[in-house]
């Protein structure tokens, strides 16, 4: 037996793929040309992730515009934007290095996903020999598509949220139907909801409880058995090697976060200043029985924003320390975040996206080896 271990989802897109996306936006290449590059990047990602020894793999989201916008736009520049959306929505996040990411704005209803995560998974699955996971976006992120204060004529916020929950449920079910062994829900807006950044109004509206309630509206549609394999990912962001909410105390998030009835949690922790403080919070607030499932806590042992590769010894040390606060039957290991949640990401601290890819696979290999060592040490 070893502790469970799993990545969050994304990998840096090769420079070649990022160039192809830009060329597609300029209409210099066809969608077919872009698809070929995406297929090649997914195949390469899966093969290299399998070679790390990871027990479960992903395609690195090489076809997605971003972890958050894949259901509604083909590229971050807005090519292939879904119906009833305009490009000028609110900021999702302003990062510490000053760059920001913006969401589209809903202009009418009904709200529908144009792409489901399963559309990607179906194409990538044939490349894998190991079980695959699929990440999906939380409804709590996409609820920010609706204007913060105004109402949309003819399409109330309530109607929108009902449609959104239906689409989010479909996204998860279809991923399982397409063969995903596990589905994790990206919830990076959770920590950001306590930031109170005056430049980004929604972060000062105390929306965390609404987010939790909205996500549970979807999660509670699944049986306890299904929820064993439905996870939640939390982090302070991870884009262009920068973060958006690392200064928010986990104590403001975790008691609420564990109220979601998910079976497992993928939590940024490697880059925390005081890891043991957070392990303790996780031990205190995670639940043995979340409406029929025990919540398994995957702690982050790898920092995707730092080019220095962690050692297996460090990973082992973190897990053994965490096991003093979190029961080992409910302990696992993950990376702090996806390695590139947005498709266009030059990974400045790494020097280039291609170099960042090489480093990412080395980091995953260190995680896998560290998990092995910790499992032996813990007598599993």
Per CB under 5 A, residues contacting Zn ion are 188, 235, 238, 337
Shortest Å distance, C-beta 8 to Zn ion: 6
Q: Which is nearer to Zn ion, 63 or 233 (CB)?
A: 233
Shortest Å distance, C-beta 366 to Zn ion: 19
Q: Which is nearer to Zn ion, 235 or 366 (CB)?
A: 235
Q: Which is nearer to Zn ion, 238 or 332 (CB)?
A: 238
Shortest Å distance, C-beta 338 to Zn ion: 6
Whole-Å CA distances, 185 to 115, 279, 349, 364: 16, 21, 27, 20
Q: Which is nearer to Zn ion, 81 or 297 (CB)?
A: 297
CA distance 89 to 169: 24
Q: Which is nearer to Zn ion, 167 or 189 (CB)?
A: 189
Q: Which is nearer to Zn ion, 62 or 188 (CB)?
A: 188
Shortest Å distance, C-beta 234 to Zn ion: 7
Shortest Å distance, C-beta 241 to Zn ion: 13
Shortest Å distance, C-beta 315 to Zn ion: 18
């Amino acid at each position: 037996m070893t502790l469970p271990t799993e990545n969050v989802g994304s990998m840096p897109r090769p420079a070649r793929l990022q160039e192809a996306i830009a060329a597609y936006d300029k209409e210099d290449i066809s969608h077919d040309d872009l698809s070929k590059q995406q297929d090649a990047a997914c195949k390469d990602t899966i093969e290299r992730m399998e070679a790390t020894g990871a027990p479960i793999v992903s395609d690195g989201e090489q076809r997605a515009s971003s972890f958050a916008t894949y259901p509604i736009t083909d590229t971050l520049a807005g090519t292939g934007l879904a119906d009833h959306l305009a490009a000028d929505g609110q900021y999702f996040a302003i990062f510490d290095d000053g760059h920001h990411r913006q969401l589209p704005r809903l202009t009418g209803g009904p709200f529908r996903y144009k792409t489901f995560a399963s559309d990607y998974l179906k194409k990538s699955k044939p490349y894998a020999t190991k079980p695959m996971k699929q990440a999906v976006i939380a409804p709590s992120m996409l609820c920010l598509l609706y204007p913060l204060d105004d109402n949309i004529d003819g399409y109330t916020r309530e109607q929108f949220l009902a449609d959104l929950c239906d689409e989010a449920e479909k996204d998860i079910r279809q991923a399982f139907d397409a063969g995903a062994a596990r589905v994790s829900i990206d919830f990076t807006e959770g920590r950001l909801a306590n930031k109170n950044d005056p430049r980004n109004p929604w972060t000062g509206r105390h929306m965390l409880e609404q987010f939790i309630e909205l996500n549970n509206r979807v999660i509670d549609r699944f049986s306890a058995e299904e929820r064993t394999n439905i996870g939640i990912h939390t982090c302070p962001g991870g884009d262009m090697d920068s973060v958006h909410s690392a200064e928010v105390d986990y104590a403001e998030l975790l008691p609420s976060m564990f109220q979601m009835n998910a079976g497992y949690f993928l939590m940024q922790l490697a880059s925390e200043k005081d890891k043991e403080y957070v392990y303790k919070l996780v031990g205190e607030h995670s639940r043995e029985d979340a409406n029929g499932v025990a919540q398994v806590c995957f702690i982050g042992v790898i920092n995707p924003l730092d080019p220095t590769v962690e050692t297996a010894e460090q990973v082992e040390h973190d897990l053994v320390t965490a096991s003093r606060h979190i029961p080992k039957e409910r302990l696992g290991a993950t990376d702090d975040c996806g390695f590139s949640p947005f498709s266009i990401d030059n990974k400045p601290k790494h020097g280039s996206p291609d170099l960042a890819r090489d480093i990412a696979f080395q980091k995953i290999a260190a995680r896998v080896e560290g998990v092995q060592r910790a499992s032996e040490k813990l007598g599993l």
